[in-house]
Chains A and B, each alone.
Chain A
Amino acid sequence: MRPAKTMKIELKVNGKRERREVPPSRTLLELVREDLGLTGTKAYCHSGICGACTVLLDGAAVSSCSLLAAQADGAEVTTIEGLAADGALHPIQQAFIDHFGFQCGYCTPGMVLLTKALLDEVPEPTREDIVRYMGGNICRCTGYAGILASVEAAAKALSTKD
């Protein structure tokens, strides 16, 4: 039933080089969660809407459910597991903890990575910037006020850092 053909891809995931043979239909989400066992990346809609599956592809936030693994060939992928450097929490992660940016935490990996992409692109975002950018990901628990506060705090923490 499954196509016999596979493709060879090579990419960097959280700084580690990975060489894999995957069926052409394999999504980046499947590659990350199932082949690499990085289950911090979540999924809900499988259709590019909710953002639970957000990862960074060469620094840009993408929905991994809607990309083929093959499209990440040669790229650098960061998942939530790759954000905390040597066990210390990234300032964005710390901000989400300090400002109650989540409850169940299911949207959190995606939200944190989306924040990273935002702040890399716009280090000092206005509230409107944040609302527009973060509006791409869905959270069902918080009502978003805590997430907004977390992103604002993270922006501040990162800008005072450098």
Chain B
Amino acid sequence: MCAAQSRKRDPIVGTSMPTLEAADKVTGATLYVGDLVVPGMAHAKVLRSPLPHARVVSIDAAEARALPGVVCVLTRDEVAAAGIEPVYGFVYRDAPLVALDKVRYQGDIVAVVVADDLATAEAALELIEVDYDELEPVMDVDAALADGAPLVHDTFSPIAPELRPVEGTNVCHRASIAWGDVEAGFREADRIYEDTFSAPPVQHCALDLHACVAAIEDGAITVWTNCQSPFPLQRELQRIFKMDARVIVPYVGGGFGSKSRDRLECVVTAAAQLAGRPVRLVLTQEETFLTFIRPAYRGTIKTGVKDDGTIVARHVRFTVDVGAYAISGARSANNTLKVATGPYRIPNALVECDAVYTNKPPSAPYRGLPTTQHTMAYETQLDRIARDLGIDPVELRMRNLVVDGDVHITGDLLRSTHAKECLEAAAAGIDWGKPSERPDKPAKLRGKGVSCTIKYTLTPPTRLSENGAEIELREDGLFEVRIGTVNIGQGSDTTMAQIAADGLGVGLDRIRVVHSDTALVPVDSSTTASRSTYHMGNAVLDAAAKLTADVLAVASQLLERDAASLALGPDGVEADDGESISYEELVRRSGGPLTALGECVVGGTYTAPDGTEYPIASTFWSFASAAAEVEVDTDTGEVRVLRMGAASNVGKAVNPDSVRTQLEGGVGMELGPTLFEQLVWDEGGQLLTAALMDYPLPTMETSPLYRPEIIEHPLEGGPFGAKGMGEIGSVITPAAVLNAVYDATGVMFHEVPLLPHKVLAALEGRK
């Protein structure tokens, strides 16, 4: 680490500070994609399928095209005539730009109208006639897995090598991982428990609606979008249109996974090509519910324990409803295989999953993929086990939680765990062990619950750098840090500026950040899976070290001093003897800006102490705990979360208040799906909870308003010891609430949300 070069200066990493863009955000100056105006742009509206599954017989858009103000209408015919690739998806290539032979969910894109203004585009939608031949839909996993079920796709087109579809079925990916001998483990067990847990789909409800603007000029595409994966999208655009492409992602108003993959950009580019002018599409809130959703989940978990509570075997089988297109959902399901057994020492494990096509909207990760649902399954079961064995739930966890040096079910050696400390801190947040205060009426019951989790980050199968970062010392004496990370609200510009400042040994006032523009920054795989702080942070640090060496070498010549006697100072390079040269002058005299490219190499294999080679399943593992105190009104069935505690080992908090806010936000958000959010379709495949009117979200009134704990045990290899933590808050929440309800009422719920009528029905059953 080159920070050693810097002198007598307090570290910036580890200091809480408002984000660099904070003033622009409170004054309304920050521009999001929906705020951008590109000269000459036209406006697009999407015609969506009213049916969940149908053959598209014919599309007649003549009348729409004739409407004054309509620029063009894009259907499968125009896509064919343009000679572009009609199907996209860089993980699974199964999503058509617009419907080709079939529509596969209510809301599937059939046509795009481009007009001079939005009102005209909307009016034109009404004039398009589509003739459908209805097919039987499969609306859930059971229907999709039934013998002779209608097939959502006739063929499979996985791109990522780990994806394995099952021919002739709706299973677009089937996988398993095994560790030890699960059958032998169950034979060793004193008791065996089996539970099935399910959770319905929800939507991310990021307030910044999916939007994009596409323009084609001089044979090159420019797309402005709020997608979290600008570089993979760039490659998709180049493949589909056989043209150069530039993707620009300005500030994004939250995504939570709903923008992790592109969904609109290719079709809007096709519309712009047909229109011959830039085109903007901004979805409505209702349309975002038809764009990406969190998948329906069901998991069956079987656990064998000794009488003292030691877990000896665990078998998890789960299904994920990926919806109509597997562009995102199939790989997400696969990734969570490795965390389905929890943060526990488990000598014998088997985890199996089916990712299944249905006629629902496509699924995407939701702040922690199905890790949240896995955690609900194994953590609620653990409380049942605790009660059965007469062991305190915290104590039972303490007996089984992993510690540094343990080996996970993937073979990975665990480091920087401190899962027990997280649990203790979270439990302390609700005064675990002390009885709850008495509620104000006898019909109300109070209880407490905890939960623990383990989370991975996206990790390549071979050793490579998936992202770079560039730092350039420029004529104006500023260090420009160029990163692919999308600033989606997590404050990544600031985190990276802090890391760069300490890496270089200069003040924050010397740093300028340029983000997520494929023409200006080095390649980055994506801003997902809590990966940025670690990966981009390391790349920034690497670039800082290289640039420092280059700057000192130049300064050494200019000042005629030994490089070892020089260091980067606040305003220029300083020598031991007091000589110095300003950054501006250094750049001027060296003949131009100095640039260094940093990288972060991850993946590959690791050799276990016994000599076995394992592929590294996750570059780092994250650990967190939550604790909840709830009040259940047995008259109304209403569940209120009174208090929450949460803690995560983040390695090192680069910007502690920012980390705390993110952890807190994850918990707060997930209370919605825990208590009241769910998407519901009728039997005919129509989404009933289509608008916010029918889909309540957490507000300040329903939130517990607490502050989580940050635990810092530096991770070797992390930038200043930091790990990522963008998602872990949500992962730990539902299980803690369900366990608290169990503690209060004696009823264990095996599904969310905890709607009052369901709670009442379950309490009736108890009597």
Residues of A within 8 A of B (CB): 1-2, 38-47, 49-50, 52, 79-81, 83-84, 89, 93-94, 96-98, 100, 102-109, 112, 130-132, 134-148
Contact = CB atoms under 8 A, between A and B. Distances in A.
8 contacts: A1-B119, A81-B27, A103-B661, A105-B25, A105-B30, A109-B26, A131-B700, A144-B703
B156 interface: no
Contacts of A98: 18
Contacts of A103: 254, 489-491, 658, 661-662, 665
B761 interface: no
B489 A141 contact: yes
A120 to B, nearest CB: 18
Interface stretch (B92-100, B175-183, B205-213): B205-213
B564 interface: no
Nearest to A42: B207
Contacts of B667: 143
A98 to B, nearest CB: 7
A99 to B, nearest CB: 9
Nearest to B669: A140
6 tightest CB-CB pairs across the interface, nearest first? Answer: A40-B28, A143-B668, A104-B489, A106-B253, A105-B25, A80-B28
Interface in B685-740: 691-693, 697-701, 703, 705-707, 729
Interface of B: 18, 21-32, 34-35, 67, 69, 119-120, 123, 204-209, 251-254, 256, 284-285, 488-491, 657-658, 660-662, 664-669, 691-693, 697-701, 703, 705-707, 729
B696 to A, nearest CB: 9
A58 to B, nearest CB: 20
A89 B23 contact: yes
B489 A105 contact: yes
Contacts of A135: 699-701
B207 A107 contact: yes
Contacts of B26: 80, 89, 93-94, 96-97, 102, 105, 108-109, 112
Contacts of A97: 18, 22-23, 26
Contact of A144 (B28, B35, B660, B700): B700
B711 to A, nearest CB: 19
A145 B27 contact: no
A40 B29 contact: yes
Give the interface centre of B26, B664, B705 by most chain A CB atoms within 10 Å: B26
Nearest to B699: A135
A143 B703 contact: yes
Given A102-B25, A141-B669, 10 more contacts: A49-B693, A102-B26, A102-B489, A105-B251, A106-B489, A138-B698, A140-B256, A142-B668, A144-B668, A147-B700
Nearest to A80: B28
Contact of B665 (A80, A141, A148): A141
B27 A80 contact: yes
B441 to A, nearest CB: 19
A47 B661 contact: no
Nearest to B489: A104
Contacts of A105: 21, 24-26, 30, 251, 253, 489
Contacts of B24: 105
A84 B27 contact: yes
B691 A47 contact: yes
A89 B22 CA distance: 11
A49 B692 CA distance: 7
A27 to B, nearest CB: 12
A109 B664 CA distance: 21
A57 to B, nearest CB: 17
Nearest to B37: A37
A78 to B, nearest CB: 11
A79 to B, nearest CB: 7
A52 B207 contact: yes
B489 A148 contact: no
A145 to B, nearest CB: 5
B27 A2 contact: no
A142 B205 contact: no
B120 A2 contact: yes
Nearest to A147: B700
Given A40-B29, A81-B28, A103-B665, A145 B691 contact: no
B540 to A, nearest CB: 21
Given A84-B27, A100-B18, A1 B67 contact: yes
